[in-house]
Amino acid sequence: MHSLLRKFLKQKDANPEEVSSDQLKLEIDTLYVVLSNIYGTDKLILKASKLEALGLMRSELLGERLLGLQKLANDDPTEKNVPKIDEIPSLLQEIEEHIAEILAKRSVEERLNQAVAEKMQEHHEEYIKEIKTQVLKETGGPENAQTLKKLAQLEKMNATKPVSSAIEILKPQTLEEIVGQESALQALLAKLATPFPQHILIYGPPGVGKTSAARVALETVKAFPDSPFGPDAPFIEVDGTTLRWDPRDVTNPLLGSVHDPIYQGAKKDLADTGIPEPKLGLVNDAHTGVLFIDEIGEMDPTLLNKLLKVLEDKRVYFESSYYDPQDAKSPLYIKKIFEEGVPADFVLIGATTREPHELNPALRSRCAEVYFVPLEPSHIIEIVRQAARKLAVQLEEGVPDIISEYVIEGRKANSILLDAYGFARFKNSGEKDVVITGKEVREVLRSARLTPYVHQKVIPGKVIGRILGLGVSGFLGSILEIEVKVFSGLAGKGNIRFNETAGSMARDAVFNAAAVIRNLTGEDIKNYDLHVNVVGGGRIDGPSAGLATTMAIYSALKDQPLRRDVAVTGEISIQGKVKPVGGIYEKIFGAKQAGVNTVIIPEENLAEVPSGLKGIEVIAVNKIEEALKVARAD
C-alpha cells in the first residue's frame, strides 16, 4: 500500500494538472486505511476522539478530511486550519512520509520483540530450573531430585499426543447414526424435550446404543426452544457395577462424603483446626444436567435407596460428628454445605440389560421406561457400512452381510470390523487405500471362534409331526423345534416319552395336549406310544410351548403335515383355547431372525405386536382349530 502511494504521488508530480478531486479523495481514504491497519479500528476511533478529529474524519469536504488526517498522523490536536485544495498534494506527501516513519519504527520494534521472545524461549527452561533450585535451597521445600523427576515425567505425559481410540471414533455423534432404534429414540426425546423432563430407565440388550442414545439425546434437546437443559448442561456417566455402598461413609463417589479432618486427609488448614471437609459426589457434578448410570440394575440396594432420596430432595445433605455450627473457624462454604446441603437437581437415566421385574420397584415407580430392541441383520449391515465410512476404508461386497450373520450387537459388529481392518492394514502395509475383504473377516471370525447367531434357517415346505415353537431369554427370542412321533401301542397302555431337560412345563404341556387331542379327534393317546422331542434339548421355562406341542402331536396322530415356515406361541387350555403368554415382541424378533414367514400368537397378545412390522406376518388366534387351519394352509 505504501509503494502504491509513492507511485501515485510520482504520477501527480509529473502531471499535476491530471490530479482530480476524486484521486485526492482516494489517496486520503487510502491513508486512513493505513492508519487503521497500524493502530486498529477501535484504537484509531478513540485516538481521533481525543484529538478532536472524529468529526473531520467523517466530513465530506476534502480539506476537513485532510485536517483530520494531519491531526492523527502528527498526534497534534492544535491543528485548526483547513488546507486549501492547491495545498492538499504537498500536505499529503508530508503525511505519507510521516506514516512511513511510523511503519519503519513498528517494523524494527517487531523484529526486536521477536528476537527477544526467541531468546527468552531458549533460556526459559534453564531459567526456571535455576529458580526452582534456588527456591528449594532457600526454603528447604518438599521437592527433591526424585519428585522433580516424577514431575518432569508427568509433564512429558501431558504433552504427548494421545493415541486415538477407534471406539471413540465410531461412537454415534448424531441421532441419525443410532441405527434400528427409531421408536425408542422418539420416546427418549419426548421425555427429555419438555419443561419438566422425566427420569428414565432404558431396557435393552447390550451393544444396541443405549449409552450413545442418552448422550446424543441430551445434546439434541439442548437446542430445542424452552429446553430445561442449558448449553453447558453436563452428562455424567458412571457404571453401576463399580458403585458400592460404604457403611462407614468413608468414601462415596456417587453421593459424596465427609472426610475426617484427622484420619481421612482433609485439607491442611482444615485438619489443623479439626474442621470436617465435605467431598461432593457425581450427583452434584450432574446438577442441571443428566446423570447416566449404566447397568443400574447391578447397584447396591442401599446405595440405590439413598439415590432415590436425592431424586426427591434434589439436594444432598452431609452430616459429621466433627462439625460444630458454633465454631467461628469454620469457613462459610462448609457451614452452608452442612446447614443447607448441596444442589443435585438432575435427570437420572439408567440403562440395564435386566428384565423390568428384576429392578427395584421404587426406582421403576419414579422413572419412565423406554425399551431398546435387538438389532436385525439389516441394522448390523448399516452399522458396519457407517463404521467403514468413519474409518475411511473400502469394503468388499458382501462383508457387511457376513458380519450380520454372526452378531446382533452394534458394538460387536464394530469390533469385528476393526479386527478385519487391522488384518488388512497388516497385510497391505505399503498400500495407501485399505480394502477389507471377506477373507479378512472370515479370519477374524475363526480366530474369535464365533458361530452364526442363527443356527437354523427356516426352509419352505411341509412336514408331519413337527412345528416351531418360540422361546425368550432376557431380551432375545429364539425358535424351538418340537417334533413328535406316534406309534401304535396296546390299548390303554401307551407310553409318553419326552426330553427330561425340557423341564416340567414341557411335561404339563403334553398332558394338557392329551385332553385337547381327545376333544378334537376322539382319540385317546393312551392307546399310542408317543415320543415328544425338543430338538437340541432347549429348556421350556413357561407354558408358552403348549400350543406348539399340541399341534405337533395332532399332526403326527392324524398324519397331517404342517408348514415349516410357521412358528407358534401360546398356552393351551384343556378346552382348546389359546391363552396369552409373555415376551411377544422378542419372540417375533427371534422368528424373524430365523426366516419364519408367519407367527401365530394368542388373540389377547395382539396389542403387544409392534406397529409397522415388516418382513413377517403375525396372526392372532383364539382356539387351536384356528391355529391348525393357518399351519396346514389347506
Active site residues: 544, 587
CB 624 within 8 A of CB 551: yes
CB 390 within 8 A of CB 383: no
d(CA 192, CA 214): 10
Longest dimension (CA), the chain: 137
Chain centroid, CA 404 distance in Å: 22
DSSP state of 615: S
The residue type of 319 is E
Q: Could you give the C-alpha distances from 31 to 1, 11, 518, 536, in angstroms and in order?
A: 9, 17, 110, 92
Expressed in percent and rounded to 5, the helix, strand and coil fractions of the chain are: 50, 15, 35
The residue type of 25 is K
Q: Which region holds residue 268: left if phi is over 0, alpha if psi is between -120 and 50, else beta? A: alpha
d(CA 143, CA 145): 7
Please state the φ and ψ torsions of residue 181, each to the nearest 5 degrees: -125, 40
CB 291 within 8 A of CB 236: yes
Question: SS3 of 281, please?
Answer: coil
CB atoms closer than 10 angstroms to residue 581: 22
d(CA 251, CA 630): 63
CB 584 within 8 A of CB 605: yes
Please state the φ and ψ torsions of residue 127, each to the nearest 5 degrees: -65, -45
Strands 435-436 and 347-352: unpaired
| Burial (CB count <10 Å: 0-12, 13-18, 19+), residue 114 | exposed
d(CA 480, CA 470): 6
In this structure, is the dihedral angle defined by the CA atoms of residues 279, 283, 289 and 292, taken in order, positive or negative? Answer: positive
Among 561, 551, 556, 559, which residue's Cα sits nearest to residue 626?
551
- Which 3-state string (H, E, C) describes 181-250? CHHHHHHHHHHHCCCCCCEEEEECCCCCCHHHHHHHHHHHHHCCCCCCCCCCCCEEEEEHHHCCCCCCCC
CB atoms closer than 10 angstroms to residue 402: 19
d(CA 149, CA 168): 32
CB atoms closer than 10 angstroms to residue 105: 10
CB 470 within 8 A of CB 598: no
CB 240 within 8 A of CB 303: no
Among 455, 452, 470, 454, which residue's Cα sits nearest to residue 566?
470
d(CA 220, CA 532): 55
